Structure formats: structure tokens, C-alpha cells
Amino acid sequence: MRFIDFQNKDLAFTIFARPLDVDINCVPEHLQMELIELQADLVIKSKFNHIDLIDFYKFCLTEEKYKNLRIFSRNIISLFGSTYICEQFFSRMKYIKSKNRTRLTDENLENSIRVSISNIDADIESLAVQALDQPIQ
């Protein structure tokens, strides 16, 4: 899946990553009632911030009460090659799209996610030395 494909699934990712904050009027009808119940459940709300996102869907949402949300979450998770990659992506996206960064453009979100999941370690000392060696213009 390429980053451009993620833009097409932005609403689905938002529902998955932030089910307690999503605007009910924007979600598909088959998820609306379950999301209303979820957003009204104080016990589940308290667990959401203290548990991993994958575990939240696996252990906190019962199949009987949240059947459509569980199916929806499995579909989102299955987009990734492994649950680790999925957890890593959504954990970082949740941080990047936190309430403090709500004005992020799609391009900046894409770049922020690329940087956050990159395995490249920046050599800050070397970069600082190079910056000091540059003439001021």
C-alpha cells in the first residue's frame, strides 16, 4: 500500500484510531449505532487511553455488542503485513494527529509519518558541525 492509498482511507483510519472522537455524522451508517454506544460507555473510554489500540479492539469490544466495529477493525489491521507494523503506524499517527496537531495538512502528515517510521538514525552532532561550517548568507 502506498501513501496515496492512505489518503483514500483517511476516514477509515480516523474511525479506527480515534473511535471516541470521530464525528458520528461522517461515519458509514452500519457503524453509527455502535460508535454512539462506544462513545457513551465510560468504562471503555477509560480503558482506551491505557491500552494498545489493537488490544483495545481485541479485548474491550465484545463481538456481541460491537460486531460491525470488530469486523471493521480487522479489515483495517489486515491492510498491513503484520500487527507490529499496524500498531507502529497507528500509534505514531495517533501521536502525530493528536489534538495539539489538528491543523496538519495531508502532505505534512505523510512526511511526519515517513520520518517517524524511518529506521535512519540522524547524526545530530555531525549535522550541527556542518551547519556551523556553512557561511551565513
Q: Which amino acid makes up residue 17?
A: A
Question: From first to last of its 137 residues, what are the pLDDT tens digits of the chain?
Answer: 455 566 667 888 889 989 999 999 999 999 999 999 999 999 998 888 888 888 898 889 999 999 999 999 988 887 766 666 667 777 777 776 665 566 667 677 777 777 776 677 777 788 778 877 776 66
**Do 76 and 92 lie in a common domain?**
no
pLDDT at 33: 96
pLDDT at 20: 92
**Do 49 and 113 lie in a common domain?**
no
Distance of CA 111 to the CA centre of its chain: 14
pLDDT at 103: 67
CB 67 within 8 A of CB 31: no
- The residues near 77 (Cβ < 8 Å, ≥ 6 apart) are 54, 57, 83, 86
Domain that holds residue 42: 3-80
pTM score, whole prediction: 0.57
**Do 76 and 18 lie in a common domain?**
yes
**Do 61 and 44 lie in a common domain?**
yes
**Do 46 and 65 lie in a common domain?**
yes
Distance, CA of 74 to CA of 66 (rounded, Å) = 12
**Do 8 and 33 lie in a common domain?**
yes
Into how many domains does the chain fold?
2
pLDDT at 67: 95
**Do 74 and 122 lie in a common domain?**
no
- For residue 44, the tally of other CB atoms under 10 A from its CB is 18
